Amino acid sequence: MGSSYKSAAFLIESRLADAARGDADACFDLGIAYSSGAGGLEVDLIEAHKWFNLSALSGSTRAAECRAEVADEMTAREIAEAQRQARAWLHATQRRAA
Protein backbone atom coordinates (compact mmCIF):
# COMPACT_ATOMS: atom_id res chain seq x y z
CA MET A 1 0.00 0.00 0.00
CA GLY A 2 2.76 2.45 0.91
CA SER A 3 4.53 1.75 -2.36
CA SER A 4 1.47 2.54 -4.48
CA TYR A 5 0.93 5.75 -2.49
CA LYS A 6 4.54 6.79 -3.15
CA SER A 7 4.11 5.90 -6.82
CA ALA A 8 0.95 8.02 -7.07
CA ALA A 9 2.62 10.91 -5.25
CA PHE A 10 5.61 10.79 -7.59
CA LEU A 11 3.34 10.70 -10.66
CA ILE A 12 1.37 13.68 -9.44
CA GLU A 13 4.41 15.74 -8.45
CA SER A 14 6.32 15.16 -11.66
CA ARG A 15 3.34 15.66 -13.96
CA LEU A 16 2.15 18.75 -12.05
CA ALA A 17 5.53 20.39 -12.61
CA ASP A 18 5.31 19.61 -16.33
CA ALA A 19 1.68 20.78 -16.49
CA ALA A 20 2.65 24.08 -14.88
CA ARG A 21 5.04 24.59 -17.79
CA GLY A 22 2.15 24.10 -20.23
CA ASP A 23 2.78 20.46 -21.16
CA ALA A 24 -0.52 19.17 -22.61
CA ASP A 25 0.66 15.55 -22.33
CA ALA A 26 1.24 16.02 -18.60
CA CYS A 27 -2.28 17.37 -18.22
CA PHE A 28 -3.60 14.39 -20.16
CA ASP A 29 -1.63 11.97 -17.97
CA LEU A 30 -3.10 13.59 -14.86
CA GLY A 31 -6.59 13.24 -16.34
CA ILE A 32 -5.98 9.55 -16.97
CA ALA A 33 -4.61 9.05 -13.46
CA TYR A 34 -7.60 10.70 -11.79
CA SER A 35 -10.21 9.11 -14.05
CA SER A 36 -8.88 5.58 -13.61
CA GLY A 37 -7.35 5.62 -10.15
CA ALA A 38 -3.92 4.81 -11.61
CA GLY A 39 -1.01 4.46 -9.25
CA GLY A 40 -3.22 4.08 -6.20
CA LEU A 41 -5.02 7.40 -6.60
CA GLU A 42 -8.67 7.61 -5.75
CA VAL A 43 -10.90 8.19 -8.77
CA ASP A 44 -11.81 11.90 -8.84
CA LEU A 45 -13.90 12.85 -11.86
CA ILE A 46 -13.75 16.58 -11.11
CA GLU A 47 -9.93 16.48 -11.15
CA ALA A 48 -9.96 14.24 -14.23
CA HIS A 49 -12.27 16.61 -16.12
CA LYS A 50 -10.13 19.60 -15.10
CA TRP A 51 -6.93 18.01 -16.44
CA PHE A 52 -8.55 16.71 -19.63
CA ASN A 53 -9.99 20.19 -20.16
CA LEU A 54 -6.58 21.83 -19.76
CA SER A 55 -5.04 19.35 -22.18
CA ALA A 56 -7.88 19.86 -24.67
CA LEU A 57 -7.35 23.62 -24.51
CA SER A 58 -3.82 22.96 -25.76
CA GLY A 59 -5.21 21.09 -28.75
CA SER A 60 -5.36 17.47 -27.61
CA THR A 61 -8.25 15.72 -29.33
CA ARG A 62 -7.71 12.63 -27.15
CA ALA A 63 -8.21 14.80 -24.07
CA ALA A 64 -11.38 16.33 -25.51
CA GLU A 65 -12.77 12.84 -26.09
CA CYS A 66 -11.85 11.71 -22.58
CA ARG A 67 -13.33 14.90 -21.11
CA ALA A 68 -16.63 14.13 -22.84
CA GLU A 69 -16.60 10.55 -21.55
CA VAL A 70 -15.92 11.68 -17.98
CA ALA A 71 -18.59 14.40 -18.23
CA ASP A 72 -21.19 11.74 -19.04
CA GLU A 73 -20.69 10.41 -15.50
CA MET A 74 -20.81 13.83 -13.78
CA THR A 75 -23.54 16.19 -12.63
CA ALA A 76 -23.80 19.71 -14.02
CA ARG A 77 -22.47 21.06 -10.70
CA GLU A 78 -19.45 18.77 -10.84
CA ILE A 79 -18.68 19.87 -14.40
CA ALA A 80 -19.00 23.53 -13.40
CA GLU A 81 -16.62 22.93 -10.49
CA ALA A 82 -14.11 21.21 -12.78
CA GLN A 83 -14.28 24.14 -15.19
CA ARG A 84 -13.82 26.61 -12.33
CA GLN A 85 -10.76 24.70 -11.15
CA ALA A 86 -9.31 24.64 -14.67
CA ARG A 87 -9.73 28.41 -14.96
CA ALA A 88 -8.10 28.89 -11.56
CA TRP A 89 -5.16 26.68 -12.61
CA LEU A 90 -4.69 28.67 -15.80
CA HIS A 91 -4.85 31.96 -13.93
CA ALA A 92 -2.36 30.80 -11.29
CA THR A 93 0.14 29.34 -13.74
CA GLN A 94 -0.05 32.34 -16.08
CA ARG A 95 0.61 34.70 -13.16
CA ARG A 96 3.67 32.65 -12.15
CA ALA A 97 4.99 32.73 -15.72
CA ALA A 98 4.66 36.51 -15.99
pLDDT recorded at residue 63: 98
Please tell me the least confidently modeled range out of 8-12, 25-29, 34-38. 8-12
pLDDT category, 97, cuts 50, 70, 90?
Answer: low
Domain boundaries defined on the chain: 3-97
pLDDT tens digits, one per residue of 15-28: 999 999 999 999 99
Instruction: Judge whether residue 2 has pLDDT over 60.
Output: no
Cα separation, 30 vs 64, whole angstroms: 14
pLDDT category, 70, cuts 50, 70, 90?
Answer: very high
CA atoms within 13 A on the CB side of 35: 24
CA-based nearest residue to 19, from 2, 34, 36: 34
For the question of whether the overall pTM of this predicted structure is more than 0.85, the answer is yes
Mean per-residue pLDDT, 44-50: 98
From residue 44, alpha-carbon distances to 23, 48, 76, 79, 87 in Å are 21, 6, 15, 12, 18
CB 69 within 8 A of CB 52: no
Percent of the chain with pLDDT over 90: 71
> What is the full DSSP assignment across 17-47?
HHHHTT-HHHHHHHHHHHHHTGGGPPP-HHH
Instruction: Judge whether residue 1 has pLDDT over 50.
Output: no
